[in-house]
Amino acid sequence: MKTIRKILLAAAAVALSLPASAQFLGKEENPIGTFAKGTVFLSPKPTSMTRYTAPNKPHWKLSEILASHRGQSDWVQPIIRNKDQEADYISMAPGKKTKEMMYPDDRLVFIVWDGSIKVSIAGHEPFVATKGFMVNVPFRNLFTLENVGSTPALRFEVRQVGSVPLYPVSETPDAVKGMTYTRVTNLTGPAKEKESNPIYVDYMKEFNGTDKPYGGKFVWDDHFTSNILRGKGAPVPGDEKKGHFHVGWTEFWFIMEGHIGIKIEGEKYFVTDPGDIMTAAQGRWHRAGNDPSAPWSTRVPFNPRPPILHNFDADEK
The pLDDT tens digits for 194-203 are: 888 999 999 9
The 8-class DSSP code of residue 233 comes to -
**2, burial (CB in 10 Å: exposed 0-12, middle 13-18, buried 19+):** exposed
Q: So what's the architecture of 59-169+190-202 in CATH?
A: Sandwich (2.60)
Q: Rounded to the nearest 5°, which phi and psi values hold at 206?
A: -75, -35
Domain residues of the chain, as ranges? 59-169+190-202, 210-312
Buried b / exposed e along 91-120 (16+ C-beta atoms within 10 A): bbeeebebebbbbeebbbbbbbbbbbbbbb
Q: What is the pLDDT of residue 228?
A: 95
Give the sheet arrangement for strand 117-121, strand by strand. 127-129, 117-121, 143-147
The 8-class DSSP code of residue 102 comes to B
Residue 81's nearest CA partner among 109, 45, 53, 122 is 53
Longest CA–CA span in the chain (Å) reads: 71
Q: What is the pLDDT of residue 209?
A: 87
Q: Report the residue count for the chain.
A: 317
Give the global pTM: 0.91
d(CA 108, CA 38): 39
What CATH topology corresponds to 210-312? Jelly Rolls (2.60.120)
Instruction: List the chain residues with pLDDT less than 70.
Output: 1-30
